[in-house]
């Protein structure tokens, strides 16, 4: 099999050949995550040149698509922000209750931008600084919306704002889900507990406690915290991952383990 | 006159005496910001022992209350999160349009917690880390709601989540206002431009550009950025201040300048 | 057996009882490292109350004392600065050549000070800052001198200055050894290569290359670099360790592995 | 007049023309600091193409060369490491006592490397890391040696090692001077006190106290601390500056003030 760690637009040139040669592929680029070729073109500014395989690639988020991954030949490994966002929102969205709005306030460490020599990523620029970027226009939003819509059984929209944290590795998303019908904090917490009870890499924090990026650094864990407003209609979920592990290479290994019938946690705990 | 830089509950013991002695007072504690004695007790866990002066203290946010500050003898200097939140929300709230929900996703550097020897504030705990805290239960939320309600002319509620940033100084709030009737990005930006056009310490970023904490560090500025969703119903405002300057001592000096008829920017630019 | 992770002066109360009960002890405090009771009193300001066991404790630096550790019942686990300093200087000192002066310019991350709520260790104090402390008066200097003197076969003095780095974990010592008779860079590098060729946890960098704290973080490695001045009489050695692993708990585990005949790298690689 | 903030080798093309046009020049590059054309070629790898002006340029370190700066038309503004090193060593060297060796263990924040998009200066590379670089081969060493030799009245050599600190701005040099004849701590401290007693930008710390980079950040100060070994033969000096101010632009303004007869501290305090 092949792990493809290529820049976007390079993957879609190489993947078809590798697949044709009969190898299994786990692609770490963004080329096969958004299923609509038009959507890809809109957000990434390039025409998709391998729409045939685009529809075949399985989204490699094991907590949601483990069965499909088991028999897949071709995996689109999820983005870092989407992994943290979808895992944090899935239990609530999957109940298919009426939702009025979803805000994803996302914060990422500098390694999330990739290892490229860019002025904005220099130590003196990022250190002792914090800012928002790509406000309501981040290319990861449609990836998140696509899989939330599948879960919800209907078109689901999010408001996504990315921020640059002065840390090397780590993502923490704070997500605000406005409900039509209220839910108690205990109900919300139980919902999450049940949803992830068998998952080796999702850890739900106890009531009143919140995840920290430090606790997931260098691990494949996604840590979650749940809060509910006093009127019960606003659910706040915080989710933390290491963008380089559960948000990238670690998740790719987890997918490989599943595809080959290995123990899913092999090499990851 | 006297600047009171005392811990909460100490100010309300000292302030009445200083006022009685005929001095003007600018109080930097939280003792005189929330106007309801019951509200104070609920959020701070102590009975308010000087409710007489509580009602007299003017909230020292010059951009909103400059006329009252001019003739005031007693100023309650705003909290750091509230300064960034209220300045960011005021222009939109003051239009009194229908608002469905307000999220304040607030992030503060470590100096915001005060200079106390606490384990959670040690370098090895805060460095290379990021977390939410006091989810939907921060004591600054009622302070923000009180003054937004005044501006809106009706009870106005926010969903407030605080986060701890691994920087020494700086606050950045990302605020999401869900409207009933849409607004274009240009309309929103113009609204902010007009509201603050005469303000020496508020700088509105150009369209598409966002504030950074680094640009306000060691200054009395509040920098603002505005975004609007494609359906025009979600307005995103980012606001940045130095929590130790515009969020504390700098704002106190600005208030003093106003109270004494000095040039408002004296010592601050 | 027992690992004693007690504050200094507590260990010397507890260790004698545990030893008397027949258990093996690895002591992580500074109580049994400096062999002279008078020296201990001078540097730590307390009388040593267990001088009987003081002389029996084996200094747990496996690269130098592996044979003694194998049969020891009682180990004094080395300090973090001494581990980095002694491993960096040992190959040169052990040649017993004439040395005119030794400077140890030592830099440690904040966790080296222990996890105590002290103002100087707060994030806003240590972040974006760097300073020297305990100039020529650090309590780790006599520990280093004692073991260098053993290696040199004569009294050996160092000039030691500690510095506080704005990182969580890591020590980097830069050491300057002024020789009477010159040595070439190749000779010096070969000397180090031979000295450590069988050591699982010492990694000598290639000529011209220097260790970084990042490369030893969360590991039990000590990384070394060697330089020589153009007149061949000044040798510069840089050594990097993780102060919490090779400088503390990791080295304790390595000692335990040796005492019990386990594979020395068990649990450490 | 003209401030030249050009890359090395560009300055020596432009400066002659600007000087010929009758303007005064303060050059911030390294082109005119090292007085020997051969030395320049050796350390910077380029032939010097303006040796005529090279000999005329005055080294703009006001604490040592104020009288010459007053009447100069052409200033070579000192490097950041040399400013901190020479100011720290000058009082001792100028006594012309016998010195056996000088070690300069130099540490700089990342902005010292200039604002260029280089992989090694990215936040994820420099953050939570510390390393030595250019061990005994830094191009600033000959600049330091040249001016120390002038002060000493004889050839004076240093052993210089640079390190990269995970801070944005600041240099701290720890310097070890091995003397033939001893000096007491009080004598050494008095020596420094007298040497700098009229200097507006040099602050000597009290006995036992050491400078921190944080205290000189964003200022034109050079802070100094002095220590002496118990045998009185090793003097340790620590010096701290902001590399972007006293180490560059601030010192250039100080030189301009002197050249034009302005108050030397104008715009700098």
Nearest to D238 by CA among A79, C105, B85, B151: C105
Query: Does residue A264 lie within any of the structural domains?
Result: no
- What is the distance between the alpha carbons of residues B34 and B55, in angstroms, rounded to a whole number? 9
Which parts of chain A have pLDDT scores under 70? Answer: none
**Mind giving me the DSSP string for D36-49?**
-HHHHHHHHSS--S
Residues C72 and C180 in one domain: no
* Structural domain count of chain B: 2
- Per DSSP, the three-state class of C232 is coil
Chain A residues near residue D165 by CB distance under 8 angstroms: none
Torsion of CA C214, C216, C222, C227, to 10 degrees: -30
Residues A218 and A139 in one domain: yes
Average model confidence (pLDDT) across chain D: 96
Per-residue pLDDT, A74: 97
Residues D118 and D234 in one domain: yes
Of the residues A42, A99, A102, A105, the best mutation for testing chain B's interface (the one with the most B CB atoms within 10 Å of its CB) is A105
The residue segments making up the domain with residue D221 are 80-244
Per-residue pLDDT, C115: 86
- What is the distance between the alpha carbons of residues A193 and A188, in angstroms, rounded to a whole number? 9
Task: Please tell me if residue C124 touches chain B, with a CB cutoff of 8 Å.
Answer: yes
Task: Please tell me if residue A188 touches chain B, with a CB cutoff of 8 Å.
Answer: no
Helices of type H across chain D = 11-20, 37-44, 51-54, 62-70, 80-93, 123-126, 140-152, 185-195, 213-216, 250-259
- CB burial of residue B223 (10 Å; 0-12, 13-18, 19+): buried
- Report the 10 Å Cβ neighbour count for A233: 17
Closest approach of chain C CAs to the CA of A67, in angstroms?
A: 34
Query: Does residue D268 lie within any of the structural domains?
Result: no
Chain B residues near residue A167 by CB distance under 8 angstroms: 128-130, 166
Query: Using the beta-carbon criterion (under 8 Å), do D128 and A168 form an inter-chain contact?
Result: yes
Residues B126 and B235 in one domain: yes
D170: pLDDT strictly greater than 90: yes
137-176 in chain A: CB under 8 A from chain B:
159, 161, 163, 165-168, 170, 172, 174, 176
Closest approach of chain B CAs to the CA of A228, in angstroms?
A: 8
Residues B49 and B84 in one domain: no
Per-residue pLDDT, D24: 96
Task: Please tell me if residue D235 touches chain C, with a CB cutoff of 8 Å.
Answer: no
Chain C residues near residue D234 by CB distance under 8 angstroms: 101, 136, 159
Query: Does residue D133 lie within any of the structural domains?
Result: yes
Query: Does residue D269 lie within any of the structural domains?
Result: no
Residues D70 and D114 in one domain: no
Residue from the list A163, A178, A212 with its beta carbon closest to the beta carbon of B101: A178
Task: Please tell me if residue B117 touches chain C, with a CB cutoff of 8 Å.
Answer: yes
pLDDT in tens, chain B (269 residues): 899 989 888 999 999 999 999 999 999 999 999 988 788 888 888 899 999 999 999 999 999 999 999 999 999 999 999 999 999 999 999 999 999 999 999 999 999 988 888 999 999 999 999 999 999 999 999 999 999 999 999 999 999 999 999 999 999 999 999 999 999 999 999 999 999 999 999 999 999 999 999 999 999 999 999 999 999 999 999 999 999 999 999 999 999 999 999 999 999 98
Query: Does residue A149 lie within any of the structural domains?
Result: yes
Per-residue pLDDT, D116: 87
Per-residue pLDDT, C132: 98
Query: Using the beta-carbon criterion (under 8 Å), do C128 and D228 form an inter-chain contact?
Result: no
Q: How many helices (H) and strands (E) does chain B have?
A: 10, 11
D77: pLDDT strictly greater than 90: yes
Residues A41 and A105 in one domain: no
Average model confidence (pLDDT) across chain C: 96
**Mind giving me the DSSP string for chain A?**
-EEE---TTTHHHHHHHHHHTT--EEE-SSTTTS--HHHHHHHHSS--S-HHHHTTPEE--HHHHHHHHHT-SEEEPPPHHHHHHHHHHHHHHTTT--EEEEEEEEEE-GGGG-S---GGGBHHHHTT--EEESTT--TTHHHHHHHHHHHHTS----EEEEEE-SSSS-EEEEEEEEESS---HHHHHHHHHHHTTT-TTEEEPPTT---BHHHHTTS--EEEEEEE-TTS-EEEEEEEE-TTIIIIIHHHHHHHHHHTT--TTTTT-
Chain D residues near residue B127 by CB distance under 8 angstroms: 128
Residues B22 and B140 in one domain: no
Residue C34 DSSP one-character state: S
The pTM of the full predicted model, rounded to 2 decimals, is 0.96
Please name the residue of chain D whose CA is at the shortest distance from the CA of residue A129: D168
Query: Does residue A197 lie within any of the structural domains?
Result: yes
Please name the residue of chain C whose CA is at the shortest distance from the CA of residue B113: C124
Per-residue pLDDT, B7: 86
C80 is a catalytic site residue: yes
Residue A43 maps to which CATH number? 3.40.50.720
Residue tagged active-site, from C4, C28, C54, C80: C80
- Report the 10 Å Cβ neighbour count for B23: 13
Beta bridge partner(s), residue A225: A238
Is residue D24 within 8 Å of D73, Cβ to Cβ?
Answer: yes
Is residue B204 within 8 Å of B193, Cβ to Cβ?
Answer: yes
C108: pLDDT strictly greater than 90: yes
Q: What is the mean pLDDT of residues D35-42?
A: 84
Residues B233 and B254 in one domain: no
Residues B144 and B156 in one domain: yes
- What is the distance between the alpha carbons of residues D85 and B93, in angstroms, rounded to a whole number? 57
The gap from C-alpha C201 to its chain's centroid, in whole angstroms, comes to 13
Please name the residue of chain D whose CA is at the shortest distance from the CA of residue C126: D214
Residue A237 maps to which CATH number? 3.30.360.10
Closest approach of chain D CAs to the CA of B110, in angstroms?
A: 16
Is residue A251 within 8 Å of A220, Cβ to Cβ?
Answer: yes
Is residue A86 within 8 Å of A64, Cβ to Cβ?
Answer: yes
Closest approach of chain C CAs to the CA of B224, in angstroms?
A: 25
Nearest to A235 by CA among A178, A151, A190: A178
Please write the tens of the pLDDT for every residue from C146-188. 999 999 999 999 999 999 999 999 999 999 999 999 999 999 9
Query: Token pair for residue B150?
Result: 């005044």
């Amino acid at each position: 099999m092949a792990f493809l760690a290529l820049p976007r637009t390079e993957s879609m040139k190489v993947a078809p050949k590798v697949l044709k040669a009969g190898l299994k592929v786990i692609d770490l680029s963004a080329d096969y995550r958004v299923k609509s070729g038009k959507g890809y073109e809109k957000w990434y500014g390039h025409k998709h040149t391998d729409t045939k395989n685009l529809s075949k690639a399985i989204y490699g988020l094991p907590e949601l698509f483990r069965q499909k991954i088991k028999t897949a030949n071709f995996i689109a490994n999820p983005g870092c922000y989407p992994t943290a966002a979808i895992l944090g929102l899935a239990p609530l969205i999957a109940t298919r209750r009426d939702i009025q709005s979803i805000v994803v306030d996302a914060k990422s460490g500098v390694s999330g931008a990739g290892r490229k020599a860019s002025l904005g990523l220099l130590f003196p620029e990022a250190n002792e600084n914090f800012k928002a970027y790509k406000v309501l226009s981040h290319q990861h939003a449609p990836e998140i919306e696509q899989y939330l819509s599948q879960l919800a059984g209907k078109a689901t929209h999010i408001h996504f704002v990315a921020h640059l944290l002065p840390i090397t590795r780590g993502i923490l998303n704070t997500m605000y889900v406005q409900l039509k019908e209220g839910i108690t904090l205990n109900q919300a917490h139980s919902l999450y507990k049940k949803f992830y009870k068998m998952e080796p890499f999702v850890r739900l924090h106890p009531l009143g406690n919140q995840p920290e990026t430090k606790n997931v650094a260098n691990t494949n864990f996604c840590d979650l915290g749940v809060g509910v407003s006093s009127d019960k209609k606003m659910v706040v979920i915080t989710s933390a991952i290491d963008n380089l592990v559960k948000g990238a290479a670690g998740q790719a290994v987890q997918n490989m383990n599943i595809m080959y019938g290995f123990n899913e946690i092999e090499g990851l705990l």
